[in-house]
Structure 1
Amino acid sequence: MTRSEAVGEPPLTVAAVARRLGIAPATLRTWDRRYGVGPTGHTTGRHRRYAPADVYRLELMQRALLKGASPAEAAEYALRAAADAQPAPPIPLARGGQGGGRQLLMPGAARPARGLGRAAMAMDEVSVQRMLADAINTDGVNATWDDVIRPVLAAIGGRSLYAGDCVEVEHLVTECALAAMIRATPLVTAPRNPRPVLLGCTPEEQHSLPLYVLRAALARRGLSTRMLGCAVPLTALIAAVRRTAPAAVALYAQVPAHADVTTLVHLPRTRQRVHLFACGPGWHDADLPARVERLDDLTCAVDRIESFVVGESA
């Protein structure tokens, strides 16, 4: 029995659990139908009610997703970790205990990521900036994002979930990474694509760093983009499409709650074809319109967008 059950916490509706986790009710139903992570007491003909143990499994699944697991992997972990209805031990994230320590634990991470983690925990901005610049110069934008920045942000985010600290470290790394990606973005004066690629976040999405990584990677391949950044209102997205007549629009969502399909539906159709790409993990379980293509990771997104816009110009 979990502690929440011991104090008699009442079961929650689908809507209440969705609000608590910050995801769409449809996502909860999908997780239940596809992966079996749903209310244990639900029977046909009755409304779903989530007991504390059910919510705990969903929280475990959400944490695993935030750390980069696929939905199937996250569900398997959540079901296994919660099988005995006891809180799973936290993944060790920092030396010296959850509440302190100056070093992140990142098993299997490359040496540049471990070095960046040490500099980040020391709040050494100069070293963080230098390490990111060196990694980009040596291995490129894609590898720096996948092998250096993401593991550090995942470790810091996991520590924040379990211990409630290091938010300031996460902000520092994010700002340094953003600055590094902007510096790594060349000015494309003779683009290979006659019409640009429009990059923006959904109206509620605040996580724009992955878009700046995508822009840098596209620019380094000689492709022109227009960056709108985070939390772009629908009216602004519509106006930007009409003003720029882009070859493609890449719309980013980090979490399912911000993956609003109606935003994609309302983007205007122009005289010249505009291809729509849904980027980021938030769209994973979304029921996308036929004219929208899902892109799951950075390398896939760069290659596919380049293939589309260059093929169109040819």
Structure 2
Amino acid sequence: MERERIEEPTLPVAAVARRLGIAPATLRTWDRRYGIGPREHTTGRHRRYAPADIARLELMQQALLRGSSPAEAAEYALRATDHEPEPPAESVPVPRESDLLRAAGARSAAVLGLGRAAMAMDAVATQQLIADSIRGLGVVAVWDDVLRPVLTALATRCAQSGESVEVEHLVHECTLAAVIGATPAVTAPRNPRPVLLCCAPEERHALPLYVLRAALADGGVGTQMLGAALPADALAAAVRRTGPAAVAVWSQLPGSAGAELFERVPRTRQRVRLFACGPGWFTTDLPDRVDRAEDVGDAADRIATLVGAAR
């Protein structure tokens, strides 16, 4: 029996995250904060999830979709898989089949709720909805599945009719406040040298960069934020002064991305990893020493792995 248990097929973090539709950083958060992680010891730093581990995660996710707090959902999942009595319904509702059928639309409901609060110009409710979603699902999942759809819809409306500019600004500011509030202070980073985060010289869309910083901080990666529209000379000076482990340059729009920026990053005694992050780099030919990351989640995973952070 013990031999059969050990030889059960297991999945890495990235595969489990894709299966559940959440960010790898969320899995790490649930493991660290609530103990919902692999039960068996694995060698090295790589977590691998057995079928029983994934079943626990699915139970936690179902409880979250019914409105439980992360701590309540974790307790419910642990008790259920340990064959303990189920908690009272008023504490952690037990998912029903009808709830599972509605699960796919849960994030759409969050989008609608956020949209209603924003259109009402209710800044308190807007920021609270974003913060609550981040606590339950993780900052990358909320960015991809809740915030981006709302911001894209508002930007389209502004471009087509000139309306709702004030709403777009409100959502932007509330998102920035919620993401900064959800970014833990990394007092003992896993990387001895920092990761520099900045936008391309002509890029002023810095909000994804703050989401990336929050995701990296959640994994114990130390960063230094240099913000929007950083001139190439300033980036070069920052690299010389800090000797970073990596530099991540965000570009949202194609017009802001130029591969020559990376040629101006000075070489240091220790290797500096270079990352071109965001959709603005999609059609840009990059030097061989530059890694391309398509979105925030991809960037967070690649940077965390290559600078030596735990997966």
TM-score under structure 2 length normalisation = 0.64
How do 1:61-76 residues align onto structure 2 when only pairs under 5 Å count? none
1:267–1:302 Cα change, 3 Å? same
- The secondary structure found in structure 2 opposite 1:110 is helix
Alignment partners' CA distance in 2, 1:109 and 1:117: 12
User: Is structure 2 residue 249 aligned with structure 1 residue 251?
Assistant: yes
| Distance apart, 1:108 and its partner CA | 9.4
- What does residue 170 of structure 2 align with? 172
Q: Distance in 2 between matches of 1:230 and 1:174?
A: 14
Q: Which amino acid aligns with 1:134?
A: D
* Structure 2 unmatched ranges of 5 or more: 1-104
Higher mean displacement: 153-162 or 288-297: 153-162
How many Å separate the matches in 2 of 1:178 and 1:255?
Answer: 20
| Residue 227 of structure 1: aligned partner | 225
Aligned to 2:118: 120
Kept in 2: contact 1:109–1:151 (CA 8 A): no
The one-letter amino acid of 1:290's match is D
SS of 1:310's equivalent in the other structure is: coil
> What do residues 167-187 of structure 1 show as CA deviations (whole Å, max 9, x unaligned)?
111111111111111111111
Give the AA of the match of 1:244: T
Amino acid at match of 1:167: V
Contact 1:277 1:292 in 2 (8 A): yes
**Letter matched to residue 145 of structure 1:** W
* C-alpha separation in 1, matches of 2:128 and 2:192: 35
Partner of 1:213: helix, strand, or coil? Answer: helix
Q: 1:263 aligns with which of 257, 261, 264?
A: 261
Q: Deviations over 1:16-70 (max 9, x none)?
A: xxxxxxxxxxxxxxxxxxxxxxxxxxxxxxxxxxxxxxxxxxxxxxxxxxxxxxx
Segments of 4+ moved more than 3 angstroms: none
Take 2:255 and 2:304, find their aligned partners in 1: how far apart are those partners? 29
Which SS does the other structure have where 2:308 is aligned? helix
The equivalent residue for 2:236 is 238
Structure 1, unmatched stretches of 5+, are: 1-106
Return the match for 2:201 from 203, 211, 231.
203
- Tell me, in whole angstroms, the C-alpha distance in 2 between the residues paired with 1:109 and 1:286: 33
Cα separation, 2, equivalents of 1:155 and 1:109 = 16
Corresponding residue of 2:304: 306
Aligned pair count? 206
State the secondary structure of the residue aligned to 2:136: helix
8 Å contact from structure 1 (residues 121, 169) kept in 2: yes
User: Residue type matched to 2:206 in 1?
Assistant: S
**1:148 aligned to 130, 146, 149, which one?**
146
Aligned to 2:99: none
> Identity of aligned pairs, percent?
60
1:137 correspondence with 2:135: yes
Distance apart, 1:161 and its partner CA: 2.2
Task: Determine if contact 1:191/1:223 at 8 Å carries over to the other structure.
Answer: yes
Alignment partners' CA distance in 2, 1:255 and 1:245: 28
Q: Bigger relative contact order, structure 1 or 2, given CA contacts below 8 A and separation 6+?
A: 2
Q: CA deviation at 1:144?
A: 1.0
Residue type of the partner of 2:114?
L
Residues 234-259 of structure 1, C-alpha deviations (whole Å, 9 max, x = no match) = 11101111111111100011111100
- 231-240 or 206-215, which deviates more: 231-240
Correspondence list, 1:10-21, <5 A: none
Q: Which residue of 2 aligns with 1:27?
A: none
Question: Aligned-pair RMSD on alpha carbons?
Answer: 1.5
Give the CA deviation at 1:109: 5.7
- Cα deviation digits, residues 289-308 of structure 1 (max 9, x gap): 11111100122111111110
Equivalent of 1:162, from 150, 160, 173? Answer: 160
Work out which of the residue numbers 283, 286, 289 in structure 1 matches 2:287. Answer: 289
Q: Displacement, 1:206? A: 0.5
Q: How does 1:173-192 map to 2 (within 5 A)?
A: 173-192=171-190
Asked if structure 2 preserves the Cα contact closer than 8 Å seen for 1:136 and 1:184, the reply is yes
Query: Separation in 2 of the partners of 1:197 and 1:134?
Result: 28
Provide the secondary structure at the position in 1 that maps to 2:183: coil
